[in-house]
Every structure is written in structure tokens, then in C-alpha cells.
Structure 1
């Protein structure tokens, strides 16, 4: 018999009373589908806002995690190993600002046994009577941070989609455990949807709270929840100010961002007018140019103390 991948708490006060008619499960898997750590930061915000929240289901990480590919951190103190940050993949019971209960499944994306993981999540969904799964993710895109963050919405039930998709035709993309789960849940008759934020590719290695706030705004609407985003918005403003100061002091990097702005605006105008979406008359910087400039850009963000307080300072 296959080893059980999830252990679910037998009795959960607040969920087993039969009083909730709908229950949302928010899904965040760290790793492949999380540029700018947007989804992971959103999950941390939900946990912080709800006061941690009890764990109601735990997945067997030893069966799902590739430790050599993603080595957990340890602390070495003077002459001994003192602590180990064991990866955890759990489901927590949280409550929004109006005390509405919901579930959060968060932790590292499984490296193996995706089909088994999907079956384990199905157990959680059916055990607690989850009515809707809402997944969060983020991907790097050639877009400037000075424009609105676009979000791709997807679902296994077309009735869950709130707007028209910008994508046309079929795209062949690398799969993920999260995407497979949405597909399988649909086959089993469970509604699942998701939101993927488009992160400026030059910020993909940084924590980008602005995108986290946008994702949670979509969670509020899709999951019928209310979340206090004031702290996250303040954090996002601080990050934007840091980026603005750095770009003002580094003209070459700013020129690349300006090129992305021109391309973005041309694309938007073409889309609104119904003409070609390629906007071919606007040149994009080459991959080599972008790579060189943003390698320097990311290095600068890792050393915020090196940035001048005044862009005119040298």
C-alpha cells in the first residue's frame, strides 16, 4: 500500500460545527512559480494577520522534497550545529478580518509524486468541504515596475473567470504541481482557480510586496474574504522608493526601464485600438543589454547602504 502523504486532524473546532456554507482554500507553493516571492510574501501576510492559525493537515515532506536540489538552511554556532529549518508543507485554519474561516495550504512545491500530492490535497478538500481552491503565483515578464501589475486569471471552471483573457491560442509552458492540482481537481468535480502576477523580470530575485498586495486583492474577491493590506501597502511603498532612488542614480539602468515603458505603452495602445499586439515599431533592448544592466541593478539592491540618498550625490 502506498505511503499516506497527508495527515489530517481528526477534530477541528470552527470547521466541524457544520455552520459554514462555503470554505476557501488558498494555495501557495514556494519555488518555481513565485517570481519576486510575491505569493510566498502574500502567504506570510495572511498568517501574520490571522495570528499564525492552527495546523489542520500536514504533508509528508520527506516523500515530496528533493533535499539535494533545495537544501534547507542550518545554523552552525562556533563548534556545533544548533538548529535546522526543516521544510514544512501544511494546511492552516485562518480567519479574515471579519472572522470568516478559510484554509491556507503553504510550503515548498513538491519535487516528486505530484499525482500523489494531488490526491492528498483532494483528501483535504473533501474532508473539510472546501468549495473553492484559489492558487497564487508569479512569473517574470518583460514589463516595467512603473506600470500596473497585470494578473493572469485561470480556472478549471469557466464560470469562475471574471474577465476576458489577454492570451490567445495555446501556450506550451513548463508544468508545476500547482497547475496539475488545478487540472486534477477539475476532473474530480472540485472548483479551483488561480492568479499569476506578472513581475518585472529585473525584480524577480527580490521580494516584491506590491505584487503580493495585488494577489491578495484578487483573493479577497474570489474567496469572498476581507484582508487588511495596509501594512503590505506600506512595505510596497518603501520598496518602490528604494527602486526609484536607485534608478535615478544609475542612468544606464533607467534607460532600460524607459525602453520597457515604451514597449508596454505601445502594446497597450495597440490592444485598445484592436490592432496588432506586437507593437513592432518599438524596439526592445537586447537580452544581453538587459542581462548586463540588471546584473548590476540586482547587485545594487543587495547593498542598499551603497545607494546615495540624493540622486545627485556621486
Structure 2
């Protein structure tokens, strides 16, 4: 493996601030939400945007995207203005120092998921975790699920140690899915003795290709519970309410869509009644099988391949 430290640069002044704060207690939590793979409803991407828009951020580290992005696979957008190229949407992958609503620091890894050099990339992140004494790494994204938008969203929680997700019900049994840089990062951190976990929000499959702020809000609520951070979610709450209102208008305007939603509601409620609990995840023995869930997941991935992946 090539030297991991050569694919990123750290701002020394910001690094000194993080190190000084860590010396006073534990280091900062690292939250990551990279885009480019499966992120139904834009759950992770919108969550990262919320954090950088609503909270104070300072750039700590910048990865060399030119070494990590396959431009022919995911072509960045450029703007042609009449007779000239006027702008280029340069892919970035960075770590920001963020301060929550109470001033508590944490790190945010966000931007384009690497296409290549995954092992080198995960080793680089591990270097940052160890350099800044990060006690916990948390990942966010969304996955498509056959659930209606009219019922509470749930999440699949996963971690390097079962104690980290003891309060969350298990959803999947054993299922194979295509890997991502984020999932490999969690695996490698766990193998090296570092605590890491993630939250995959179950997004209604018919909203998977749309921005669904409700999914981002649920993801960040779980981050707040796991870390004690205050992530100022009011802005996402307002956006989620507006989105739900727009979805309801569209459902009311289409009998076909309304029928699909109603069928999903009946399925969801049947599971709830059969378990006597208030959530679809109450009893995994009553849920669709891993093969059924895997087939739905593979169908979603196939649709993304047909449409072409996005940055």
C-alpha cells in the first residue's frame, strides 16, 4: 500500500486546536456522510449539508480527490456559458471541525466517496482517528425499503461492538450487498480496535431518488442520542414538514400512487398488529426475509446503474 498520509493534507492551526481540546478530555467524535453510492432520500448527503449550513465549521483536512475519483465513471458537471466554460463542479472530500449548538467540537467527513484506493483511504482516516483521539466514528446514509411515508421511519443500526447498538432492534439477518468505502471504513476501524457505528435510515422506496429531509432528520437524531451532540435540527424539521405536505398533495392527485401507499400502509400495520408493538421492527421473525430485502436492495442498485451514479 502507498503511504496513506500522502493523500490528504491537514491544516496545522486547526489540527493544533483539535489536539489542544482533546488534551482537556476525550477527542472529538467523527461523523461521516460520503455521497456517490446508495443514499436513498439523500439521507446522508442532506444531513452533511445541514451540519455545514447550520453549525460553525473550519476545514481540518482535505483529501486529494484527483487520486481517489474515477472521472470517467462519475463525470463532474461543468457549465458552458454561450462561448466559454465558466465553472467546474470540482469533487471534494474533506474533514471539517464542526461545533454543535453548545460549542462542543466534532469532526465531519463528507464529500465524494472514493472510487479507488479504498484500503489506502481507510488507513488515512484511521490515522486521523488515532492522531486526534477520536472515541467514536458514526456513519449515515439511507436505504430503500417497502414502507410508507405515512408511518414512522426506522433505522438499521450497526457497529463494531454489539454494545454500541444494544438499544436498537436487529433488522437484517445475514445478507450480502455491494460494499462501500463507508462500510469498509467501519470494518477496518473495528479490526484495529476503534469504536465505530452507523445508521441506515429506511426510506420509502418510491422516494429513494428524491431528497427526503425526514430521513436526514432521523439519522441525525440517532447521532444526537449516540453522541450527546446538539445538532440544531429545527431547520430540518421545517424542511421535512414541507416535503411531507408536498408528497401528500401528489398522492391525493394520483389514484395509482394512493393505492400503492395504501397497500404499504396495510402491510406495515399488519406487522404492527401481529407483534402488538408500535413499530415495524418490533419482531424480526415477522419481517420480510433477508432474501426479499436483498432483492429489493439489488433492484434499487440496478436502477442507479442504469441512470448513472451521481456525485
Q: Shorter chain as normaliser: what TM range?
A: 0.7 to 0.9
Query: How high is the TM-score relative to the length of structure 1?
Result: 0.85
After TM superposition, the structure 1 = structure 2 runs for residues 250-261 of structure 1, keeping only pairs within 5 Å, are 250-261=254-265
Matched, 1:145 2:154: no
Corresponding residue number in structure 1 for 2:63 = 59
Corresponding residue number in structure 2 for 1:2 = 2
Q: 1:278 to 1:129 in 2, by over 3 A?
A: closer
| Structure 1 SS opposite 2:38 | coil
**Higher helix fraction (1 or 2):** 2
Q: 1:170 to 1:50 in 2, by over 3 A?
A: same
The equivalent position to 1:249 in structure 2, one of 230, 249, 253, is 253
Corresponding residue number in structure 2 for 1:15 = 18
Distance, in Å, in 2 between the alignment partners of 1:186 and 1:75 is 42
After TM superposition, the structure 1 = structure 2 runs for residues 78-117 of structure 1, keeping only pairs within 5 Å, are 78-117=82-121
Shift of 1:162: 3.5
Bigger RCO of structures 1 and 2 (CA < 8 A, at least 6 apart) = 2
Shift of 1:278: 4.9
> Is the 8 Å Cα contact of residues 171 and 284 (structure 2) preserved in structure 1?
no
| Structure 2 SS opposite 1:190 | coil
Q: 1:237 to 1:188 in 2, by over 3 A?
A: same
Corresponding residue number in structure 2 for 1:235 = 239
Corresponding residue number in structure 2 for 1:298 = none
After TM superposition, the structure 1 = structure 2 runs for residues 181-220 of structure 1, keeping only pairs within 5 Å, are 181-220=185-224
Aligned residues: 281
Shift of 1:175: 1.2
The runs of at least 4 aligned residues of structure 1 exceeding 4 Å deviation read 273-276
| Structure 1 SS opposite 2:148 | coil
Shift of 1:270: 2.7
The equivalent position to 2:286 in structure 1, one of 267, 277, 281, is 277
Corresponding residue number in structure 1 for 2:280 = none
Give me the CA root mean square deviation.
2.0
The higher radius of gyration belongs to: 1
- Structure 1 gap segments, 5+ residues each: 281-286, 292-314
| Structure 1 SS opposite 2:60 | strand
| Structure 2 SS opposite 1:234 | helix
Q: 1:11 to 1:146 in 2, by over 3 A?
A: same
